[in-house]
Structure 1
Amino acid sequence: MKLQKIIFILFLSVFAYSATAQTESQLRRKKEAIQREIEQLQKNLNKTANGKKLTLQQINAINAQIRLRQDKIGTINSEIKNLDNQISQNTNTVHTLQDQLGDLKKEYAGMIRFAQRNRNAYEKMMFIFAARDFNQAYKRIKYLQQFSQYRKKQAGYIENTQQDLNGKIKVLDKTLREKSDLLKEQERERERLGKDKNQQAVALNQLTKQERQFKQDINSKKKEQAQINRAIAAAIQRAIEEARRKAAEEARLAAAKRAAEERAAAARAKAENKPAPTTSTAPAVRAKSTSELLTATPEAARLSAGFENNRGRLPWPVSTGTITERFGLHKVDQASYTNDGVDITTADGAAVRAVFAGKVVMVQNIMGRTAVVINHGEYFTVYQNLKGVSVSVGNSVDTKQTIGAVASTGDDAILKFQIRRGQGALNPEAWISK
């Protein structure tokens, strides 16, 4: 029973350790990914640090770096919490194994004392010959053999338990060292976060001095984006109108077919001197919604359903990058503007990929920058600020197919990415993978 208890305790320890190790691995990968994003942003900030004029991209990069640094500290806290759980589990296991080892040693000492008292071969023989009959003598022989074997097993149990105990103590020491290292790393990240916040304060102070120029920049940005958004809306509307034209054409062909069948039926009735069949009245055609128009064909319906089913799992439009401007309304000092998507800062010339299979409905150069719109049934994805575009209108694309490269906008290489359902803008962060 005691052996079973030891095995059960060790099994629980191994199971808990494997589950925790998996979480540790996930947290470590997340922390490394965050660090890569921070390093990329810092590289971009270092590149633009000598510029006398503060840009919106710099402010967004500083804010994103602070957010990432806070995420990293949160991840480290989760790692420390996991290690605390491991330390608690391993400490309990060590105490249990120490108790079990003590009990095993006491039992073994008792057996040794018994064996010492009965070590004389003559006494063992007398113990056997004193049996009432042959069966009892045989049982006494087996008892002596089993006692000897059990004593050897007990010695093995003690040795194995001691090895397990030593192993757990080593794991406990290693975990304590890891926790100490994480606490130091956490302190370093807190110091860096403080420096980032100081940099943010300096940037905001500089922003106040350049307020007039900054407002002009934002107004220019809003006008430029409004022009691009009009082009995007027009491209989506053309796709909707094309779907409506196809639906009307199908309805016209169906009506013409029905009319031809009725004329043929009337001619047959006249030839056979039968009453003419009653002419059917075409049912009133209900105007289809935008969603119904965009998913009218089986292919479009399949694309739309596939896109929707991959919500939260769509690949990023670039292999590496950081979201430096989020979806929605933004206020910088006294100026404000709305972003219908997200801005992803990445490496200059980074490959831009389609996030899902679809059909290209727009490739347009606006103010020296190319925008691409891809239709996925009811949904559309928009990729702005491209160069070297490798697709054209009407092309079909696959998931993760390269469609161009990110162009540099002066200081940074930024991809502006949108997801739309019809004409309505959606938050891409809810759709792309974390």
Structure 2
Amino acid sequence: MSVNRKLGFLFFILILSCQLSFAQKSKTQLQKEKQENLEKIAQAEKILSETKGKKQNTLGQLSALNQRIKTQEDLINSIRGEMYLLNDEIDENNAIIESLSKDLDQLKKEYAAMIYAASKASKGQNKLTFLFSAKSFNQLVMRYKYLEQYSAARKKQAEQITKVQEVLADQTTVIQSKVSEKNILLAENVQENKSLAELKKSQSSLVTNLQKQENKLKRDLEDRKNAVAKLDKLINDIIKAEIEKARIAEKSTIEASTKLASEFADNKTKLPWPVQGFVSQKFGKQNHPVLRGIVMNNTNINIQTKQNEKVKSIFSGIVSKVAFVDLVGNTVIISHGDYFTVYAGLRDVFIKTGDQVTIGQEIGTILTNKDGVSELKFAIHKSAAALDPMLWLAKN
């Protein structure tokens, strides 16, 4: 295989291997993911600091700390992903450098052999002596062509040596840059792992303190169950009333409602979040984060956020009800045809029953409870059936 063809083949292998190695995520994707994780850490840190401000051990503080740990772990995974990618690139560059070095050695040997062969063929004579010592005109022409071709071949060989040397130097520079980049990431990884260890230590301490408050937690849980039961009854009563209203509505109203419901359904997995934050309690059944043997059943998701955050409508619709529920706060129910979205845990409300709202419209401000926790209870219903909002909202 010629050197030019071999160089081309090496570059093809380099490109191919870069596409295959860490195929699930590119370097750009990993760096973007890393930046997103840093932003989430800042948000989680802000929420956590607000819950710490009350100097109490609360479930809200534990949720914020758990989220902070999760974002820290995600950041570490992003850094490790970059490191794995760099390792692959360094290995590939080392392979190319090794191959190029072998090519360079071979080219130099071939070049030396050519010089030796030329010297031997002319028996130490200079070019003119070699030409004019020909025994015939034809031999003179043949010797001239031979010297011309040999000179061109030797020039080409020298050019190839220079070319390989340049490529080799470039690859060496690239690998030095990647090694430096990797060393920076290694230092970051060590530091972030130290932060993670401190966070987990705080988590363990907080859980231990909360476990000592078992009786208080059980009383709070019972109060929450009663409050949620009132909220669920309010939602069900409103939905029943809306269904009855739709049953006797005019044809044009029914058609508009059906169209709105269809548009809502078409946007499944693409709907915006009602507030920025993280899910502190998922939909459905799950174990209590501290009390053993206690299973909670959630008909909504809880989104923990920062103080004074504005809550927004996730889709266009009509406000079916604005009401206040003890231990929950103000609640807004918006109808989107036979779909309903519920926003509970508001301090202030900017809209009233019967208003038409648009997607992204601010409908109120989040309520912050006595423990410094700002949390929205968000639900989606289709008629009377509660749906998992996480299956409808866009990936956060």
Sort the TM-score into its range (normalised by shorter chain).
0.7 to 0.9
Query: Equivalent of 1:333, from 276, 291, 298?
Result: 291
Measured after TM superposition, the shift of residue 146 of structure 1 is 5.2
Contact 2:299 2:379 in 1 (8 A): yes
Describe the shift of the 1:16–1:419 C-alpha distance in structure 2 as closer, same or farther (beyond 3 A).
farther
Query: Equivalent of 1:211, from 197, 214, 227?
Result: 214
Q: Write the deviation string for residues 307-342 of structure 1: whole angstroms up to 9, x where unpaired.
A: 23xx2x433333x42223323334131554333232
- State whether structure 2 residue 178 is matched by structure 1 residue 175: yes
- State whether structure 2 residue 358 is matched by structure 1 residue 351: no
Aligned to 2:266: 306
Measured after TM superposition, the shift of residue 3 of structure 1 is 0.3
Q: Write the deviation string for residues 81-127 of structure 1: whole angstroms up to 9, x where unpaired.
A: 22222222222122122222223333333344455566513434667
Contact 2:317 2:356 in 1 (8 A): yes
Alignment of 1:169-248 (within 5 A): 169-246=172-249
Aligned to 2:109: 106
User: Residue 91 of structure 2 aligns to which amino acid in structure 1?
Assistant: S
Aligned to 2:4: 3
Distance in 1 (CA, whole Å) between partners of 2:373 and 2:54 is 13
State the TM-score, normalized to the length of structure 1: 0.75
SS of 1:317's equivalent? coil
User: Residue 299 of structure 1 aligns to which amino acid in structure 2?
Assistant: K
Query: Equivalent of 1:166, from 165, 169, 172?
Result: 169
Distance in 2 (CA, whole Å) between partners of 1:379 and 1:148 is 84
Alignment of 1:362-401 (within 5 A): 362-367=321-326, 369-401=329-361
Aligned to 2:395: 433
SS of 1:131's equivalent? helix
- State whether structure 2 residue 45 is matched by structure 1 residue 42: yes
Distance in 1 (CA, whole Å) between partners of 2:33 and 2:143 is 66
Contact 2:257 2:338 in 1 (8 A): no
Distance in 2 (CA, whole Å) between partners of 1:44 and 1:417 is 18
Measured after TM superposition, the shift of residue 57 of structure 1 is 0.6
Distance in 2 (CA, whole Å) between partners of 1:141 and 1:129 is 12
Describe the shift of the 1:51–1:144 C-alpha distance in structure 2 as closer, same or farther (beyond 3 A).
same
Describe the shift of the 1:407–1:160 C-alpha distance in structure 2 as closer, same or farther (beyond 3 A).
farther
Alignment of 1:73-112 (within 5 A): 73-112=76-115
Query: Equivalent of 1:315, from 268, 272, 277?
Result: 272
User: Residue 369 of structure 1 aligns to which amino acid in structure 2?
Assistant: G
Alignment of 1:25-36 (within 5 A): 25-36=28-39
Describe the shift of the 1:228–1:184 C-alpha distance in structure 2 as closer, same or farther (beyond 3 A).
same
Aligned to 2:130: 123
CA RMSD of aligned residues (A): 3.5
Query: Equivalent of 1:415, from 360, 376, 384?
Result: 376
Describe the shift of the 1:181–1:341 C-alpha distance in structure 2 as closer, same or farther (beyond 3 A).
farther
Distance in 2 (CA, whole Å) between partners of 1:393 and 1:144 is 99
Measured after TM superposition, the shift of residue 174 of structure 1 is 2.7
User: Residue 8 of structure 1 aligns to which amino acid in structure 2?
Assistant: F
Aligned to 1:261: none
Describe the shift of the 1:402–1:127 C-alpha distance in structure 2 as closer, same or farther (beyond 3 A).
farther
Identity percentage of aligned residues: 31
In structure 2, stretches of 5+ residues that fail to align are none
Q: Write the deviation string for residues 150-203 of structure 1: whole angstroms up to 9, x where unpaired.
A: 443433332232222222222222323333333333333333222222222222
Measured after TM superposition, the shift of residue 303 of structure 1 is 0.7
State the TM-score, normalized to the length of structure 2: 0.81
Contact 2:261 2:339 in 1 (8 A): no
**Count of paired positions:** 383
Describe the shift of the 1:147–1:373 C-alpha distance in structure 2 as closer, same or farther (beyond 3 A).
farther
SS of 2:26's equivalent? helix
Aligned to 1:263: none
SS of 1:314's equivalent? coil
User: Residue 333 of structure 1 aligns to which amino acid in structure 2?
Assistant: L
**Which has the higher Rg, Structure 1 or Structure 2?**
1
User: Residue 427 of structure 1 aligns to which amino acid in structure 2?
Assistant: D
Distance in 1 (CA, whole Å) between partners of 2:154 and 2:343 is 76
In structure 1, stretches of 5+ residues that fail to align are 254-292
Contact 2:51 2:60 in 1 (8 A): no
Higher relative CO (Cα under 8 Å, sequence separation at least 6) belongs to 2
SS of 2:248's equivalent? helix
